[in-house]
Amino acid sequence: MEKNATIYIAGHRGMVGSALHRKLLAEGFSRFVFRTSSELDLRDQVAVRDFFATERPDYVFLAAAKVGGIVANNTYRAEFLYDNLQIQNNVIDSAYRTGVKKLLFLGSSCIYPKMAPQPLREDYLLTGTLEPTNEPYAIAKIAGIKLCEAYRSQYGCDFISVMPTNLYGPNDNYDLTNSHVLPAMIRKFHEARVEGKPRVELWGTGTPRREFMHADDLADACYYLMQHYSEPGFVNIGVGDDVSIRTLAELIRGVVGYEGEVHWNTDKPDGTPRKLMDVTKLHALGWKHRVELDEGIRRTYQDFLEKIATYAV
């Protein structure tokens, strides 16, 4: 990537997009084109084609998506499938039509079968049934991987795909209805501490295991792969280690300073029992994570405190 290249980050205000922007700025890039969702609806094919034809970006990071946790995925099934298909189809096709030099598509670890062997290797894709609660989102992301592969094989486009593990960090979504587990816990424990609540209720049994990566590590990995990787197969991005949801809760409770009781509501769903990424391929390419979970949680809690005015406590 040339330092004078024009870069388009789709979803630049989100957690992943903003991390990519910070990383690229730190590396000396300065020519960016941005559009907010109100300025450019990525579901609108004509609008997206006009944008690419006008701005002619050299490199594209496709980080825009409709995202959420178990509740959001299971409630808004149509939107999670339709919106994500439209977004990625329009951006990937427009990148091809305007001669983008390289595109990186960001997927999700939920693409893997629910009961796939652990850790999750890239070749486990499409070998079994998906987790029902997030199946629409997973199907859309699988389609995005295959679309990048199709444009590469048919037209020679340098389009690559990466599959991040569970992410967290600055600019995360702390909404209790639509957020993922880690930011939701941060907010729950913080509010319980401030309000003096004797206990916090968390969903499920606490036994499922999850891998968590700080968004700054993901951005660093994406930048590295844009420089060093150009193959049809996608690459898992993760830390190669996981913790139980119960352990995660204890880590967050300690960082926040909540001293009350934790109640596990076992009537609520656990989701997939385990999702650990096999990062052998990533490590072989020469990249490893730097931010450990306890330090990452501390950073993210500070981000939450800075945004506290946005949330009703």
Measured in whole angstroms, the distance separating CA 76 from the mean position of its chain's CA atoms is 18
Residue pLDDT, tens place only, 12-54: 999 999 999 999 999 999 999 999 999 999 999 999 999 999 9
How many degrees, rounded to 5, is the angle at CA 164 between CA 160 and CA 167?
145
Q: Which residue is it, tokens 């280690």?
A: 241
Write out the binding residues: 11-17, 106-109, 141, 164-167, 180, 188, 203, 210, 270
SS3 content of the chain, % helix, strand, coil (to 5): 45, 15, 40
pLDDT (tens digit per residue) in 198-255: 999 999 999 999 999 999 999 999 999 999 999 999 999 999 999 999 999 999 999 9
Q: b vs e for 170-208, b when ≥16 Cβ sit within 10 Å of the residue's Cβ? A: bbbbbeeebbbbbbbbbbbbbbbbeeeeeebebbbebeb
CA–CA separation, 107 vs 235, rounded Å? 10
Q: Where in the chain are the domains?
A: 7-170+211-240+273-292
Picking from 140, 133, 87, 95, the residue whose alpha carbon sits closest to that of residue 114 is 133
Distance CA 218, CA 289 (A): 8
Q: Which of 8, 96, 112, 137 is catalytic?
A: 137
Phi-psi region of 308 (alpha: psi -120 to 50; beta: other; left: phi over 0): alpha
Q: Which pTM does this prediction carry?
A: 0.92
Look at residue 194 and tell me whether its pLDDT is greater than 70: yes
Q: Which of 30-39, 126-135, 143-152 has the lowest mean pLDDT?
A: 126-135
Q: Under a CB-based contact definition with an 8 Å cutoff, are residues 166 and 70 in contact?
A: no
Binding-site entries for NADP(+): 11-17, 106-109, 141, 164-167, 180
pLDDT level of residue 313 (50, 70, 90 thresholds): very low
Phi and psi at 10, nearest 5°, equal -75, 120
Judge if the upstream peptide bond of residue 119 is cis by omega within 30 degrees of 0. Answer: yes
- Quote the pLDDT of residue 38: 94
Q: What pLDDT does residue 56 have?
A: 98
Torsion of CA 111, 82, 170, 228, to 10 degrees: 50
pLDDT band at 131 (very low <50, low <70, confident <90, very high): confident
- Note the CATH number of domain 7-170+211-240+273-292: 3.40.50.720
Which contiguous run of DSSP H or E holds residue 250? helix 245-256
Instruction: Identify whether 137 is a catalytic site residue.
Output: yes
